[in-house]
């Protein structure tokens, strides 16, 4: 049974990707219950070649699948995530990056123990005091009710803002799972083409792709209203 589906868009970082996945899967108590879905652009021949030749599946006992895309770019990150979630089989969806390192042994037991929680779950990033949930986790019910993982590129912000508007369930659960984010501006690592191309889609309310736009904020409200109605109905309040 697949308990956790890892959603991982990646681009032109096969070595970093492999290191990240090995840290994640080698510290899992039950790697066989973890499904890793990689979003890879068709023009990313480096990563596609790595996926064709890697033996990481046999090394870890996990199932790693590649989903190929015409390139969407960083500003459409949510479309990668939504497409991966659509084919994912897990009871929980967990964001992961090719520049992340898992530090906690048995992290999957901690995560899967909360599979029925109707809340946003946040791991702890040891080298970055971030206001949102950088590597967020939601369960399948959340995804089914809202209809998507995210409606904006800033998916961590989107999920955090949705959770912040929940009334009938716990908004956020912090768990003792620790991650190091090996982002260029934090560690000097992975200072590459992929890092240079990233764009923060926030701050311009006139751009519908930005997290501050009326379209994005409307999506936040719609998702939170759907969740609140579902949780209220579960509790016999409506």
Condensed to tens digits (0 to 9), the pLDDT of residues 139-175 reads 999 999 999 999 998 899 999 999 999 999 899 999 9
Which range of 26-40, 176-190, 209-223 scores highest in mean pLDDT? It is 26-40
User: Helices H, strands E: what count in the chain?
Assistant: 10, 8
Answer yes or no: are the C-beta atoms of 134 and 181 closer than 8 Å.
yes
List domains and CATH numbers for the chain: 4-234 (3.90.550.10)
Centroid of chain to Cα 216: 18
Chain mean pLDDT for the chain: 92
Residues 184-193, mean pLDDT to the nearest whole number = 70
**pLDDT exceeds cutoff 70 at 201:** no
Query: What are residue 101's DSSP bridge partners?
Result: 180
Q: CA-to-CA distance for 216 and 31, rounded, in angstroms?
A: 36
3-state helix vs strand vs coil in the chain, percent to 5: 40, 20, 40
Q: Which residue has the higher pLDDT, 232 or 185?
A: 232
Q: What percent of the chain has pLDDT over 70?
A: 95
- pTM, rounded to two decimals: 0.93
Closest alpha carbon to 44 in 95, 101, 98: 98
List C-alpha distances in Å: 20 to 31, 41, 60: 14, 19, 13
Q: What percent of the chain has pLDDT over 90?
A: 74
Q: Two tokens at 234?
A: 């579960």
**pLDDT exceeds cutoff 80 at 114:** yes
Which band of pLDDT confidence, cut at 50, 70 and 90, is reported for residue 1? confident
Which band of pLDDT confidence, cut at 50, 70 and 90, is reported for residue 184? low
pLDDT of residue 158: 95
pLDDT of residue 146: 96
Q: Helix, strand or coil for residue 69?
A: strand
Q: Two tokens at 37?
A: 């879905």
pLDDT of residue 211: 85
Condensed to tens digits (0 to 9), the pLDDT of residues 16-61 reads 999 999 999 999 999 999 999 999 999 999 999 999 999 998 888 8
């Amino acid at each position: 049974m697949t308990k956790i589906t890892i959603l991982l868009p990646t681009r032109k970082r096969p070595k970093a990707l492999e290191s990240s996945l090995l840290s994640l899967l080698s510290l899992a108590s039950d790697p066989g219950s973890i499904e890793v879905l990689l979003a890879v652009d068709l023009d990313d021949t480096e990563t596609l070649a790595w996926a064709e030749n890697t033996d990481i599946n046999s090394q870890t006992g996990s199932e790693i699948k590649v989903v190929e895309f015409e390139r969407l770019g960083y500003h459409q990150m949510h479309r990668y995530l939504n497409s991966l979630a659509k084919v994912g089989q897990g009871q929980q969806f967990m964001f992961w990056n090719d520049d992340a390192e898992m530090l906690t042994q048995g992290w999957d037991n901690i995560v899967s123990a909360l599979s029925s929680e109707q809340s946003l779950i946040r791991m702890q990033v040891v080298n970055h005091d971030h206001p949102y949930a950088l590597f967020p986790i939601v369960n399948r019910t959340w995804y089914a009710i809202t209809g998507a993982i995210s409606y904006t590129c800033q998916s961590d912000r989107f999920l955090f803002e949705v959770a912040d508007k929940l009334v009938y369930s716990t908004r956020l659960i912090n768990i003792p799972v620790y991650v190091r984010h090996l982002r260029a501006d934090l560690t000097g690592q992975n200072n590459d083409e992929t890092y240079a191309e990233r764009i923060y889609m926030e701050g311009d309310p006139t751009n519908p792709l930005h997290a501050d736009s009326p379209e994005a904020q409307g999506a936040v409200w719609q998702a939170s209203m759907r969740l609140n109605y579902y949780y209220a109905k579960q509790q016999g309040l409506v």
